[in-house]
């Protein structure tokens, strides 16, 4: 059984590749579910979906743990902690009503998107060619939804202006973009501290995404000698082999 599962998770057979892309599709569906349901209150349908997703994530996590030769190394990966937190946040409230607040932690399932990027980068040239754009988008998306969850958890009981995830999301985006309409104001020192974090780090990530979209650091041009495909915009020599590069430029650095 262990060798059969190892082949599915690690092998290169058509069946193994199809299985791993099935898991990838499940990860993407789970990420979409986490985002969409964060805007709605609990209901019997969401309760059943929580049980479904939590059970599959737990089963997948247990199998990976069984196949992992070094747990110490596995615990250094964000995807491992994303799975642990996801299992707790999906299944915890099912067994104890007082653990309902853990639902906010499932936004950390977005950390799984970094593992998704690695898989797609390995298998698709399109993702490799636009790696900076996808990575910057994921950075910003993960930050926005994790901060939205933290703001909701810290403000929903003390702030009359924040009653649901939609309110928290609106506040996060308006703070991140420095629009600051003033109709929602964070309450307490914890809320103000989160607002500062959103403004400082959120604006940085937003500007990083804008930069890679309109003026990336690297240009894609292949070196004739060593085949290196990405170089600095103002490079005169290949960093790998030293060959003189002729990169067209408009004069701006």
Query: Quick one: tokens of 3?
Result: 């060798």
- The predicted pLDDT at position 212 comes to 65
Q: What is the C-alpha separation between 187 and 164, in angstroms, rounded?
A: 15
Q: What is the phi-psi region of residue 178: left when phi exceeds 0, alpha when psi lies from -120 to 50, beta otherwise?
A: left
Q: What single-letter DSSP state applies at residue 77? A: S
Question: Is 175 in contact with 152 (CB distance < 8 Å)?
Answer: no
Residues 6+ positions from 106 with CB-CB distance below 8 Å: 34, 38, 85, 86, 89, 90
> For every one of its 253 residues, what pLDDT tens digit does the chain have, with 9 covering 90 and above?
788 888 887 777 888 878 878 887 887 787 778 777 777 777 888 888 888 888 888 888 888 888 887 777 777 776 677 778 778 777 876 665 545 545 656 666 666 666 666 667 777 777 767 777 777 777 787 788 778 878 887 888 888 888 877 888 899 888 888 787 878 888 888 888 888 888 888 888 777 777 766 665 666 676 776 766 666 666 666 776 777 666 665 554 4
Q: What is the C-alpha separation between 138 and 28, in angstroms, rounded?
A: 13
Number of H helices, E strands in the chain: 11, 2
Full 3-state SS string of 185-248: CCCHHHHHHHHHHHHHHHHHHHHHHHHHHHCCCEEECCCCCCCCCEEECCCCECCCCCCECCCC
Please provide residue 65's backbone torsions phi and psi, each rounded to the nearest 5 degrees: -65, -40
- The predicted pLDDT at position 253 comes to 47
Domain boundaries, the chain: 1-109, 130-213, 217-253
Q: Provide the whole-model pTM.
A: 0.62
Q: What sign does the dihedral 142-144-147-151 (CA atoms) show?
A: negative
pLDDT tens digits, one per residue of 185-244: 888 888 888 888 888 888 887 777 777 666 656 666 767 767 666 666 666 667 767 776
Residues 6+ positions from 248 with CB-CB distance below 8 Å: none
Say if domain 130-213 classifies as CATH 1.10.287.70. yes
Strand, helix or coil for residue 163: coil
- The predicted pLDDT at position 230 comes to 67
CA end-to-end distance (rounded Å), the chain? 57
Q: What is the C-alpha separation between 89 and 86, in angstroms, rounded?
A: 5
Question: Is 111 in contact with 81 (CB distance < 8 Å)?
Answer: yes
């Amino acid at each position: 059984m262990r060798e059969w599962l190892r082949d599915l998770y690690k092998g290169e057979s058509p069946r193994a590749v199809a299985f791993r892309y099935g898991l990838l599709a499940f990860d993407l569906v789970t990420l979409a579910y986490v985002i969409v349901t964060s805007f709605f209150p609990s209901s019997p349908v969401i309760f059943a979906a929580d049980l479904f997703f939590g059970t599959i994530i737990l089963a997948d996590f247990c199998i990976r743990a069984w196949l992992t030769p070094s747990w110490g190394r596995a615990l250094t990966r964000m995807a491992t902690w994303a799975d642990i937190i996801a299992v707790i946040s999906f299944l915890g409230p099912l067994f104890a009503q007082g653990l309902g607040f853990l639902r906010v932690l499932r936004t950390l399932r977005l950390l799984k998107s970094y593992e998704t990027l690695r898989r797609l980068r390995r298998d698709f040239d399109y993702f490799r060619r636009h790696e900076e754009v996808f990575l910057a988008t994921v950075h910003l998306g993960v930050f926005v939804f994790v901060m939205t969850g933290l703001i909701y958890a810290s403000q929903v009981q003390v702030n009359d202006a924040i009653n649901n995830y939609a309110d928290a999301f609106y506040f996060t985006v308006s703070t991140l973009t420095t629009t600051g309409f003033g109709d929602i104001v964070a309450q307490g020192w914890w809320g103000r501290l989160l607002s500062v974090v959103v403004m400082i780090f959120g604006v940085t990530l937003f500007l990083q995404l804008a930069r890679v979209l309109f003026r990336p650091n690297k240009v894609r041009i292949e070196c004739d000698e060593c085949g290196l495909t990405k170089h600095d915009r103002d490079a005169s020599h290949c960093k790998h082999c030293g060959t003189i590069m002729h990169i067209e430029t408009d004069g701006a650095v």
